[in-house]
């Protein structure tokens, strides 16, 4: 058998020495699709990606957790509705709510799992146009103080891919008002609301700012040539998503930031 | 025979069959002809049991046995040089061919049809088309890395087209997106000839290390046979023999059983589970279950291996407990795989199944008897030589003849025809014509479709639609990758099948080279009407002859594919539509060439020469004309052009390249401008002078072996020298103009990119919402 990993296989390879000690767990459920991509993003940001399995009963020694996109359990019931009951999710919920405030990022299906887990408020329903949509999406960073957005500036616009079927963020007015008032709307769609989300909300955080969920995919904007094309066609936005991963690493390691 | 099962149906055992030779069997209803049934009786030396009849009927169907095309398809294996075999690790005949990529990497790809099911039930038909081709790729030991889908529908404004289009696109998206495979390209053609017979083809590509290649064979006496994945249900029973082999005809009773129902989540889990099995070397042989289900898997595994297998059919896990043995053997339930496992690996195999929560059941074992024996509660219901089921099916030399109407069709050129009246020539007319062309159903933006597919997942998509080819990175360390393009032109092939098939190959080859990749291998999906019609059979024979000759000339082998016949409604066949997929290799995908220009001031060159070739063109199609002869094929020129494009890409001499095909130079100029929203100034006077054509012809002719490129100023001399040294026609036709937001062509009224984009993008939403 080969010792060289298959394409995109989630392997733990460390890079930058200062950050290499940081370990970021990437959870795989049956039906998870973007786990290898999230692990790649972690590596490109300079840290070590640790594959986590949904059925694990211990979280192990990780400094942060990413719940990647996909269709866990086929999303046949309601996106994320089954996954929230996975043994590992219990541990993640506890760690996120603990004093240590483990940083957790939920992307797409991961965001759906976080709302189903009540780590984040609201929910996602089918896109208003009822179709799957894949596009390069402009977002505005509304809060650059969360664990996952420290390397951005408030009001900064970034372009990352968006791809989902059930991406319409909804919550009752009171919840939405509270999110706005507390600065917990972290990302907003700019120019075009791709799914009918309330108040153009693309991503939110919990009150402490350690748990962030969003529908678009920053892990697909981390490498030149493989990310979204900048809208002016001259290049430059392929790696707009890398800041998510460097943000949390810098927070974990402390230091420069 | 005292168990509950005997209450539901009578078990027709081999013993019983031998004693009751005169029992009437429904062979005709199962799609067999008298001579075929007689042959089965001869092979067995007795009448078949019901279960055996089910197996033979599906395996000897057109869909599984290629009985009408086999005699012709042979040419793909015969017209191959040693040079072409050099990189072929696995050739035609396995689930999919395998090509050497170097550095220990191998790539496998294949294109298949799921046409009839997609007309009956577009969503599930298209979805399970993706599912089936992906399982073929897994069966080779590869990780699937991308899919593509060439689609052909009826007239855009026909009420039924929306039904098929919505369903098929949602099905491809719904299934493919859920598998985590980027959709990197395809085709979309609207033509009323496909109204009752839409073509939904699906391509999948996978990669592996050389040592991981797996083949479908059952070897090693005593090794265990296991069925795993989804349970077996009543969906798709008889689909292979009945649905795919009979044309839709109102006069016959409907024979449209349930189309298979897909569960992409089960398939995704199956992919990961199989890759874990391969990683641990836990399977000796593996076969996916597609058309003809267990009949196909058992007979193929057994006949490719040591030649024997014993299987207990009651061990199959069922969704529907009332299924009869024949139905279980024929069921086309999706997301199932069959594997051969050594006794030592059973425990490890089961651990992988348990980890992924995949159901499995041990059905039997490999023997050395040369017989495939299937029992039902211990009683033998199938006892056959597996080769007679899987490989020795009937082969027909169907009569074929050049249709009587062919000459008159070819004599009816567009130029000078009634439809050609009022050909645009004034600047305003030409501008309107360009706009009309790029807004037309076949030339408009396909965003409405492609935005419903995930092109990012996997993180290795270096290029996707609307560029000429889809490009996927294989090795993250070195950047090694593959490029893929599929093409077909039913109108060209209708006008002249031999040439039409070659034109399909030439275009796919050109598209791959345009991206900067070196073309390496071919897979084809031959979509035709009924082989029992000598006219259609001639089209098929000519297309295969043309394609195989052209592959030889271009030096790239066919490594696999699929034939889809009976695509006709009543006596009216579709246009012959050989869809050709070409796979190429890029040493570093960072060097790929996109189809749009970006840098202000770069020179735009047209490579190749333009003749007055409007017959079969998109323009003539827009005017409702189909006649004459398709553009001339010049494979030597295609090869030269390919080399220029590949070298230019590798040495950084071009920043953008776009092939000229349907819609000619007009379509290419608009597409290259709209790709990144960057305009250009074009002057074609020198071209008109050199090639002796008028401006309209220069813009709309579909002459082959042409491409446009944008060349950085610093590279212009080097680029021109290269073309001159190779003696290939090249002409500077313009310059990239980033500031203007316009496409300016001398002699054509100014075209603003905003207006062009609006026209280009509005068409599909207008019809499909």
pLDDT tens for each residue of B182-209: 999 999 999 999 999 999 999 999 999 9
Q: What domain range is B742 assigned to?
A: 594-769
Share of chain B above pLDDT 70, in %: 96
Helix axis angle for B534-554 and B70-78, nearest 10°, is 10
Band (pLDDT 50/70/90 cuts) for residue A12 is very low
Give the C-alpha separation, B436 to B383, whole Å: 63
Q: Among B508, B578, B506, which Cα is nearest to B72's? A: B578
Which residues from A are below 8 Å from B675, CB to CB? Answer: 233
Mean pLDDT of B682-703: 98
Spatial CB neighbours of A101, under 8 Å, sequence gap ≥ 6:
A147, A208, A210
Cβ-defined contact of B459 to A133 (cutoff 8 Å):
no
Judge contact between B490 and B618, C-beta under 8 A: no
Query: How many residues does the structure list for chain A?
Result: 257
Q: How far is CA B681 from CA B401, B634, B713, B749, in A?
A: 50, 30, 16, 12
Distance CA B15, CA A233 (A): 73
Q: Which residue has the higher pLDDT, B429 or A224?
A: B429
Residue whose C-alpha is closest to residue B607's, from B519, B467, B710, B476 = B710
Report the gap between the CA of A135 and the closest CA in chain B (Å). 6
CA B320 to chain centroid, in Å, comes to 33
Cβ–Cβ below 8 Å for A71 and B265: yes
Q: Is B456–A220 a contact, with Cβ atoms under 8 angstroms apart?
A: yes
Asked whether the beta carbons of residue B452 and residue A31 sit closer than 8 angstroms, the reply is no
Q: Is A213 in contact with A120 (CB distance < 8 Å)? A: yes
* The two three-digit tokens of residue B488, written as one number: 């077909």
- CA atoms of B190 and B154, how far apart (whole Å): 5
B63 belongs to the catalytic site: yes
Kindly state whether residue B110 falls inside one of the protein's structural domains. Answer: no
B181 in Cβ contact with B134 (< 8 Å)? yes
Q: pLDDT digits over A160-216, tens only?
A: 999 999 999 999 999 999 999 999 999 999 999 999 999 999 999 999 999 999 999
Phi, psi of A189 (to 5 degrees): -70, 140
Domain-located, residue B724 = yes
Residue A95 has pLDDT above 80, yes or no: yes
* Most A CBs within 10 Å, among B108, B180, B269, to test the A interface: B180
pTM above 0.90, yes or no: yes
pLDDT confidence of B654, banded at 50, 70, 90? Answer: very high
pLDDT at B244: 35
Cβ separation B475–A34 shorter than 8 A = no
Question: Taking CB atoms and an 8 Å cutoff, what residues of chain B touch A131?
Answer: 170, 173, 452
Of the candidates A216, A29, A84, A8, the residue with the CA atom closest to the CA atom of residue B268: A29
Query: Does residue B114 have an active-site annotation?
Result: yes
**Residue from the list B170, B212, B678 with its beta carbon closest to the beta carbon of A2:** B212
Alpha carbon separation from A98 to A68, A90, A210 (Å, rounded): 22, 12, 11
* Nearest residue on chain B to A10, alpha-carbon basis: B458
Average pLDDT over residues B213-241: 81
Residue A245 has a CB neighbour count (10 Å cut-off) of: 30
Mark yes or no for CB contact A7/B451 under 8 Å.
no
Residues of A noted as catalytic? 108, 217, 219
Mean pLDDT rounded to a whole number for chain A: 89
Nearest CA in chain A to B481: A7
Q: What is the pLDDT of residue A10?
A: 46
Which ipTM score applies to this complex? 0.92
Q: How far is A201 from chain B (nearest CA, A)?
A: 21
Interface check B144 vs A, CB under 8 A = no
Confirm whether B554 is domain-assigned: no
Here the tokens at position B212 are 């991981």
Q: What distance in Å separates the CA atoms of residue B559 and residue B88, rounded to the nearest whole number?
A: 8
**Domain range list for chain A:** 17-253
Tokens read off for B694: 């008028």
Distance CA B639, CA A176 (A): 61
Q: Which residues contact B477 (CB under 8 A, 6 or more apart)?
A: none
Residue of chain B whose alpha carbon sits nearest to that of A163: B454
pLDDT digits (tens, 9 = 90+) for A20-29: 789 999 999 9
Look at residue B583 and tell me if it is in a domain: no
- Residues B315-331 have pLDDT tens digits of 999 998 888 888 898 88
- For residues A67 and A49, what is the distance between their CA atoms, to the nearest angstrom? 12
Q: What is the mean pLDDT of chain B?
A: 92
CATH (one of 3.30.470.10, 3.40.1160.10, 3.40.190.290, 3.40.50.880) for A17-253: 3.40.50.880
List the CATH number of the domain containing B714. 3.90.650.10
Q: In this structure, how many other beta carbons lie within 10 angstroms of the beta carbon of residue A118?
A: 11
B386 closest CA partner among B305, B329, B302, B313: B302
Q: pLDDT at residue B400 above 60?
A: yes
Angle between helices B534-554 and B635-650 (to 10 degrees): 50
Q: Which residues of A fall below an 8 Å CB-CB distance to B?
A: 1-2, 4, 6-8, 30-31, 33-34, 36-37, 40, 70-71, 73-76, 131-135, 161, 163, 165, 217, 219-220, 223, 225-226, 229, 232-235
B452 within some domain: no
Q: Who has greater pLDDT, A225 or B481?
A: B481
| Mutual angle of helices B50-59 and B293-304, in 10-degree steps | 80
* Beta-bridge partners for B312: B375
- Model confidence at B216: pLDDT above 80: no
> What whole-number distance in Å separates Cα of residue A93 and Cα of residue A86?
11
Counting DSSP H helices and E strands in chain A, the numbers are 6, 11
- pLDDT reading at A4 higher than 60: no
Q: Is the peptide bond before B466 cis (omega within 30 degrees of 0)?
A: yes
Task: Please give the pLDDT value at position B481.
Answer: 97
Q: In percent, how much of chain B has pLDDT > 90?
A: 84
**C-alpha Rg value of chain B to the nearest Å:** 27
Chain B residue with minimal CA distance to A225? B462
- What is the number of domains present in chain B? 1
Element (H, E) at B534: helix B534-554
Assign A254 a pLDDT band (cuts: 50, 70, 90). confident
């Amino acid at each position: 058998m080969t010792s060289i990993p298959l394409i995109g296989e989630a392997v733990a390879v460390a890079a930058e020495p200062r950050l290499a000690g940081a370990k970021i767990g990437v959870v795989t459920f049956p039906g998870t699709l973007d786990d290898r991509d999230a692990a790649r993003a972690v590596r490109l940001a300079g840290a070590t990606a640790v594959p986590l399995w949904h059925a694990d009963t211990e979280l192990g020694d990780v400094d942060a957790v990413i719940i990647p996109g996909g269709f866990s359990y086929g999303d046949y019931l309601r996106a994320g509705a089954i996954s929230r009951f996975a043994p590992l999710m219990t541990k993640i919920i506890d760690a996120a709510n603990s004093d240590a405030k483990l940083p957790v990022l939920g992307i797409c299906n991961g965001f759906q799992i976080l709302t189903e887990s009540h780590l984040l408020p609201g929910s996602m329903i089918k896109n208003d146009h009822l179709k799957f949509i894949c596009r390069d999406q402009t977002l505005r960073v509304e809060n650059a103080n969360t664990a996952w957005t420290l390397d951005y500036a408030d009001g900064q616009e970034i372009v990352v891919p968006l791809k989902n079927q059930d991406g319409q963020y909804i919550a009752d007015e009171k919840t939405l008002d509270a999110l706005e008032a507390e600065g917990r709307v972290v990302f907003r769609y700019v120019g075009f609301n791709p799914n009918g989300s309330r108040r153009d909300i693309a991503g939110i955080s919990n009150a402490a700012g350690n748990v962030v969920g969003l529908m678009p995919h920053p892990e697909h904007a981390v490498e030149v040539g493989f990310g979204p094309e900048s809208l002016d066609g001259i290049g430059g936005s392929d790696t707009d998503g890398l800041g998510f991963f460097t943000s949390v690493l810098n927070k974990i390691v402390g230091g420069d930031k | 025979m005292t168990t509950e099962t005997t209450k539901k149906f009578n078990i027709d055992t081999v013993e019983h069959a031998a004693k009751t030779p005169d029992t009437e069997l429904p062979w005709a209803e199962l799609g067999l002809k008298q001579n075929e049934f007689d042959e089965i009786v001869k092979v067995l030396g007795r009448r078949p049991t019901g279960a055996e009849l089910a197996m033979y009927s599906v395996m000897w169907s057109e869909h599984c046995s290629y009985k009408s095309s086999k005699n012709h398809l042979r040419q793909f294996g015969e017209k191959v040089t040693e040079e072409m075999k050099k990189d072929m690790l696995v050739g035609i005949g396995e689930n999919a061919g395998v090509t050497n990529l170097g550095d220990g990497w191998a790539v496998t790809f294949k294109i298949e049809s799921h046409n009839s099911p997609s007309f009956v039930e577009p969503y599930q038909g298209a979805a399970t088309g993706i599912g089936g081709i992906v399982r073929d790729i897994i069966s080779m030991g590869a990780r699937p890395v991308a899919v593509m889908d060439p689609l052909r529908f009826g007239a855009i404004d026909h009420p039924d087209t929306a039904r098929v289009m919505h369903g098929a696109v949602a099905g491809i998206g719904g299934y493919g997106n859920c598998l985590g495979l980027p959709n990197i390209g395809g085709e979309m053609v609207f033509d009323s000839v496909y109204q009752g017979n839409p073509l939904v083809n699906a391509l999948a590509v996978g990669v592996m290390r050389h040592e991981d290649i797996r083949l479908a064979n059952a070897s090693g006496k005593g090794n265990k046979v296991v069925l795993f994945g989804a349970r077996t249900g009543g969906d798709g029973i008889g689909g292979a023999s009945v649905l795919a082999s009979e044309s839709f005809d109102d006069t016959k009773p409907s024979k449209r059983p349930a189309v298979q129902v897909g569960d992409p989540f089960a398939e995704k889990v199956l992919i990961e589970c199989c890759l874990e099995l391969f990683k641990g070397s836990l399977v000796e042989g593996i076969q996916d279950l597609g058309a003809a289900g267990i009949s196909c898997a058992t007979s193929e595994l057994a006949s490719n291996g040591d030649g024997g297998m014993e299987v207990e059919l009651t061990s199959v896990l069922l969704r529907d407990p009332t299924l009869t043995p024949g139905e279980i053997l024929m069921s086309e339930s999706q997301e199932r795989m069959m594997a051969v496992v050594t006794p030592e690996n059973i425990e490890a195999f089961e651990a992988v199944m348990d980890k992924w929560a995949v159901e499995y059941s041990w059905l039997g074992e490999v023997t050395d008897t040369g017989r495939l024996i299937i029992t039902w509660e211990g009683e033998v219901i199938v006892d056959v030589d597996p080769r007679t089921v899987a490989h020795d099916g009937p082969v027909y030399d169907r009569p074929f003849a050049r249709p009587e109407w062919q000459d008159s069709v070819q004599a009816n050129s567009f130029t000078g025809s009634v439809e050609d009246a009022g050909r645009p020539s004034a600047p305003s007319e030409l501008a309107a014509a360009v706009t009309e062309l790029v807004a037309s159903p076949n030339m408009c933006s396909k965003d409405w479709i492609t935005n419903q597919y995930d092109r990012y997942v996997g993180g290795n998509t270096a290029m996707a639609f609307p560029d000429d080819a889809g490009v996927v990175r294989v090795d993250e360390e070195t950047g090694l990758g593959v490029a893929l393009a599929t093409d077909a032109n039913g109108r060209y092939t209708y006008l002249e099948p031999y040439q039409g098939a070659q034109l399909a190959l030439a275009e796919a080859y050109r598209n791959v080279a345009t991206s900067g990749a070196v073309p390496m291998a071919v897979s084809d999906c031959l979509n035709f009407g009924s082989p029992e019609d000598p006219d259609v059979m001639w089209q098929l024979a000519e297309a295969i002859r043309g394609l195989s000759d052209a592959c030889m000339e271009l030096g790239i082998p066919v490594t696999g594919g699929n034939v889809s016949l009976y695509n006709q409604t009543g006596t009216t066949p579709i246009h012959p539509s050989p869809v050709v997929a070409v796979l190429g290799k890029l040493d570093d995908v960072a060097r790929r060439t996109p189809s749009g220009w970006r840098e202000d001031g770069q020179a735009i060159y047209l490579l190749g020469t333009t003749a007055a070739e409007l017959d079969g063109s998109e323009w003539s199609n827009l005017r409702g004309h189909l006649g004459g002869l398709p553009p001339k094929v010049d494979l030597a020129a295609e090869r030269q052009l390919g080399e220029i494009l590949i070298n230019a890409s590798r040495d950084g001499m071009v920043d953008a390249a776009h092939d000229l095909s349907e819609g000619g130079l007009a379509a290419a100029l608009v597409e290259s401008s709209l790709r990144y929203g960057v305009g250009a100034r074009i002057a074609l006077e020198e071209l008109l002078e050199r090639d002796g054509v008028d401006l309209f012809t220069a813009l709309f002719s579909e002459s082959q072996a042409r491409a446009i490129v944008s060349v950085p100023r610093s590279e212009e001399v080097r680029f021109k020298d290269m073309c001159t040294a190779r003696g290939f026609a090249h002409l500077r036709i313009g310059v990239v103009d980033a500031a203007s937001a316009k496409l300016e062509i001398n002699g054509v009224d100014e075209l603003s990119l905003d207006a062009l984009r609006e026209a280009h993008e509005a068409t599909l939403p207008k019809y499909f919402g």
